[in-house]
Amino acid sequence: MKQVKPIKPSGDKYADGGGMYLLVKATGKYWRMDYRHLNKRKTLALGVYPEVSLAKARKRREEARELLADGIDPAQSKRDTKQAQIIAAGNTFEIVARQWLSKTAANRAATTQEKITNWLQSNVFPVIGKQAISTIGPRDVLTAVRKMEARGAIDSAHRVKQICGQVFRFAVAEGTAERDVTTDLRGALAAVPKGHFAAITEPKQVAELLRAIYGYTGHPYTVAALKLSPMVFVRPGELRAAEWSEFDLDTAEWRIPATKMKMGVEHLVPLPTQAVEVLRGLHALSGHGRYVFPSIRTGERCMSENTVNAALRGMGYAKEVMTAHGFRAMARTILDEVLGERPDLIEHQLAHAVRDPNGRAYNRTSHLPERKRMMQRWADYLDSLRKGADVIQLREA
């Protein structure tokens, strides 16, 4: 067969060899192939001209003949392939991931569920969400997490890779994927930067953390400690051991005695209005006792040193991502690099050793009016982040 286009509709068949022919009807020109399989005569549709050219029809004929040589019915193989495509279309990564999120929701806190969902929606679904999960390879997942790595979210990139692995393992159990392809990505991402205390310092991630804290539904003492930790950024031990006798809520001041301070010097913490509000609410619960954050088991001791860290873990923040001590690094970084506060005021408020131009140590009340204003600006900024204000990213290193 040399020419297809000039053939007029006649209902005739025009042979091309190997069982293939062109069936010409008034409705169109159809490529067909007659063959025998298991002693039965069958016909295979190869396509419609001109969408399927003569060359493409011949290629499909040869593919069908190869299947027959292997004892496979090409028509059945075509139906199986089409069915697999239909199934795959209903099992995209996004569909399977949302099934996994739904079926495992009871295993995690609501704030963690929201965080994981947001991670997937923002970083993974736009890249591989519409692909059939059975067709996704390691490099597809790597493309998604590398975009996170490129913008400096290395901790989150590692977490998202782990989440993708859980989705793939769920798909394996459901029969929609063969294996967890993320196992091939071991060592493919940059290592999480090591620090003495893990901390979140990017404003956008701080906003997510604050929303998680304000959505946390743990014990009221723990909730209050979580809310105050970023606002006053004292050392975790200083916060959990706070006593009501140290506070003057009317003047909005907290005086931590020298015996509790690392440097052995009394420390004064100006309290923003938001902190005073949290403390007044807490006073109704623990104000009758010694400690602001008493142990739940006994009021004779203060809150356990693991309480805030355990709450962070419960909200989905691994120890490599955020710690109770990390709130200090968070404040120090953002107060300097985003809000442009004076470094000496920041260091003084962190209770670090700060000296004046003559080399003398500042006393506890040095620059108190300025520090009060700084602490209020800081608390207001945290509120604006939590409520969704425009975020100014840190300058690149």
DSSP string, 151-215: TT-HHHHHHHHHHHHHHHHHHHHHTS-SS-GGGGGTT-SPPPPP-SS----SHHHHHHHHHHHHT
**pLDDT, tens digit (0-9, with 9 covering 90-100), for 6-50:** 777 777 888 888 999 999 988 888 999 999 999 899 999 999 998
Q: Is residue 1 part of a domain?
A: no
**pLDDT, tens digit (0-9, with 9 covering 90-100), for 150-194:** 877 787 889 899 999 999 999 999 888 899 999 999 889 988 665
- Euclidean distance between CA atoms 176 and 133, whole angstroms: 7
Choose, from 325, 332, 348, 386, the residue flagged as catalytic: 325
CATH number of the domain residue 177 falls in = 1.10.150.130
Q: Are residues 362 and 243 in the same domain?
A: yes
Q: Provide the sign of the torsion angle of the four alpha carbons 130, 133, 136, 140, taken in this order.
A: positive
Banded model confidence at residue 395, pLDDT cuts 50, 70, 90: very low
Note if 362 is an active site residue.
yes
Choose, from 235, 240, 267, 371, the residue flagged as catalytic: 235
CATH number of the domain residue 19 falls in = 3.30.160.390
Residue with more model confidence, 82 or 245? 245
Note if 325 is an active site residue.
yes
Q: Are residues 348 and 239 in the same domain?
A: yes
Note if 262 is an active site residue.
yes
- Residue 394, beta-bridge partner list: none
Note if 352 is an active site residue.
yes
Choose, from 103, 262, 301, 319, the residue flagged as catalytic: 262
Choose, from 362, 364, 367, 372, the residue flagged as catalytic: 362
The total of structural domains in the chain comes to 3
Mean pLDDT, range 254-270, rounded to an integer: 88
Domain that holds residue 24: 13-82
Mean pLDDT, range 330-345, rounded to an integer: 89
